């Protein structure tokens, strides 16, 4: 038996003095975590020994050993590293973080969200808007070409100010951390590079907090306390894109490729004839004129014909758009007209 695993680092104790609990900051519970060697003078040595013999929840949860290195932690022999998202990707779709999850990496995500006072931000934005507006106006007055970066920044700030004034959006201070787990240092470095690559591909970046891994570890505990404080100020719309739990793309075994879910960069494969999943096989395709509806229908027809043996494709083709496909797939093209040589039910 590995005795070290049973050695408690922390104890969860019920506070005996209820009045001292009430004096604490609001939100403090009836239990407090304290170190095992903190003893009360009234207790005898025997009481202390007896108390040590009792196992509490903290004994079960606390790791047997914790080694703090400059860029990682060794927790019960498992290598752990906390990464902070340094730069968020400038352009993202909903659920962009899901790309990290889609890889099924050994990583936990912690997201700290604090609402900010909109009025304080509004005055800072007003100042910024004046400065940028002044620079843009100065360029125009002196006949200099328009700096697109300046005018885009001004537009974004104005949009944000409008949203804040109309209460359509709010500002939040957001900390986003990833806690990686690996069984060796080399594996941990590899995983770090993988995550950095995934974020880098979307023009974001991750930071490895040096000499702050313990704070990072605490920020990833379910305590709602952000000890690391690598923060970003985001509005409601941008914050909503970080939410990683967008529904997974439908992917059925033996399905036909319908396309790619751009939110999570995952394939959408459906077998619309599978009655266990789709109640019926009717499909509606909607797009503006010239948007590719016919093209997509042809692709689906071809994929069904090529990948299954028992699919019949019958097209009522007023504009003769499917003729080439019909010829390529060795189908029959029947003209329905009085002058047509083709006849049904000839008898």
Ligand X SMILES: Nc1ncnc2c1ncn2[C@@H]1O[C@H](COP(=O)(O)OP(=O)(O)OP(=O)(O)O)[C@@H](O)[C@H]1O
In the complex, which residues of this chain contact Mg ion (CB under 5 A)?
293-294
State the Cα–Cα distance between residues 243 and 141, nearest whole angstrom: 44
State the Cα–Cα distance between residues 142 and 163, nearest whole angstrom: 32
Nearer to Mg ion, 293 or 335 (CB): 293
Contacts for 67-73: CB closer than 8 Å, 24+ residues apart: 68/213, 68/214, 69/213, 70/210, 70/211, 70/213, 71/208, 71/209, 71/210, 71/213, 72/185, 72/188, 72/213, 73/213, 73/214, 73/217
In whole angstroms, how close is the CB of 293 to Mg ion at the nearest point?
Answer: 5
DSSP string, 219-230: HTSTT---SS--
Residue 251, beta-bridge partner list: 269
Residue 10, beta-bridge partner list: 35
Residue 41 contact, options Mg ion, ligand X, none, Cβ 5-8 Å cut-off depending on partner type: none
In whole angstroms, how close is the CB of 288 to Mg ion at the nearest point?
Answer: 11
Give the nearest residue (CB) to ligand X.
292
In whole angstroms, how close is the CB of 292 to Mg ion at the nearest point?
Answer: 8
Give the nearest residue (CB) to Mg ion.
294
Residue 295 contact, options ligand X, Mg ion, none, Cβ 5-8 Å cut-off depending on partner type: ligand X
In whole angstroms, how close is the CB of 336 to ligand X at the nearest point?
Answer: 20
Residue 292 contact, options Mg ion, ligand X, none, Cβ 5-8 Å cut-off depending on partner type: ligand X
Nearer to ligand X, 5 or 293 (CB): 293
For the four alpha carbons of 234, 235, 241 and 243, in that order, the dihedral sign comes to positive
Residue 78 contact, options ligand X, Mg ion, none, Cβ 5-8 Å cut-off depending on partner type: none
Question: Which residues form the interface with ligand X (CB under 6 A)?
Answer: 287, 289-295
Q: Where are the beta strands (DSSP E) in the chain?
A: 10-14, 31-35, 66-68, 73-75, 78-87, 107-115, 171-182, 205-207, 231-235, 256-261, 266-270
Nearer to ligand X, 243 or 295 (CB): 295
In whole angstroms, how close is the CB of 269 to ligand X at the nearest point?
Answer: 17
Residue 145 contact, options Mg ion, ligand X, none, Cβ 5-8 Å cut-off depending on partner type: none
Nearer to ligand X, 172 or 322 (CB): 322
Nearer to ligand X, 47 or 324 (CB): 324
Structure tokens of 337?
């007209």
Nearer to ligand X, 162 or 293 (CB): 293
In whole angstroms, how close is the CB of 297 to Mg ion at the nearest point?
Answer: 8
State the Cα–Cα distance between residues 262 and 247, nearest whole angstrom: 13
State the Cα–Cα distance between residues 186 and 90, nearest whole angstrom: 31
In whole angstroms, how close is the CB of 335 to ligand X at the nearest point?
Answer: 20
Nearer to Mg ion, 151 or 294 (CB): 294
State the Cα–Cα distance between residues 292 and 247, nearest whole angstrom: 26
């Amino acid at each position: 038996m590995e005795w070290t695993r049973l050695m408690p680092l922390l104890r969860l104790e019920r506070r005996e003095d209820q009045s001292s609990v009430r004096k604490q900051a609001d939100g403090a519970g009836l239990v407090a975590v304290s170190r095992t060697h903190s003893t009360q003078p009234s207790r005898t040595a025997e009481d202390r020994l007896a108390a040590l013999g009792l196992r509490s929840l903290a004994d079960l949860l606390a790791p047997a050993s914790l080694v703090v290195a400059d860029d990682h932690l060794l927790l019960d022999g498992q290598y752990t590293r906390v990464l902070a998202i340094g730069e968020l990707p400038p352009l993202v779709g909903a659920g962009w973080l899901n790309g990290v999850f889609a890889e099924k990496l050994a990583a936990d995500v912690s997201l700290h969200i604090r609402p900010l006072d909109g009025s304080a931000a509004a005055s800072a934005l007003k100042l910024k808007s004046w400065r940028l507006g002044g620079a843009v106006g100065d360029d125009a007055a002196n006949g200099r070409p328009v700096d697109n970066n300046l005018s885009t920044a001004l537009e974004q700030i104005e949009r944000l100010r409008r949203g804040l004034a109309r209460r359509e959006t709010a500002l939040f201070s957001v900390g986003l951390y990833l806690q990686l787990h690996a069984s060796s240092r080399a594996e941990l470095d590899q995983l770090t590079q993988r995550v950095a690559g995934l974020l880098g591909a979307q023009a974001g970046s991750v930071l490895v907090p040096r000499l702050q891994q313990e704070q990072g570890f605490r920020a990833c505990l379910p305590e709602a306390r952000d000890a690391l404080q690598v923060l970003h100020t985001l509005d409601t719309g941008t914050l909503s894109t970080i939410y990683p739990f967008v529904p997974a793309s439908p992917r059925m075994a033996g399905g036909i490729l319908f396309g790619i879910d751009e939110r999570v960069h995952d394939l959408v494969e459906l077998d619309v004839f599978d009655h266990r999943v789709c109640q019926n096989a009717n499909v509606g395709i909607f797009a503006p004129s010239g948007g590719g509806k016919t093209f997509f229908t042809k692709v689906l027809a071809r994929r069904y014909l090529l990948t299954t043996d028992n699919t019949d494709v019958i097209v009522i083709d007023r504009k003769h758009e499917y003729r080439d496909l019909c010829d390529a797939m060795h189908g029959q093209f029947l003209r329905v007209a009085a002058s047509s040589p083709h006849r049904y039910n000839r008898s």
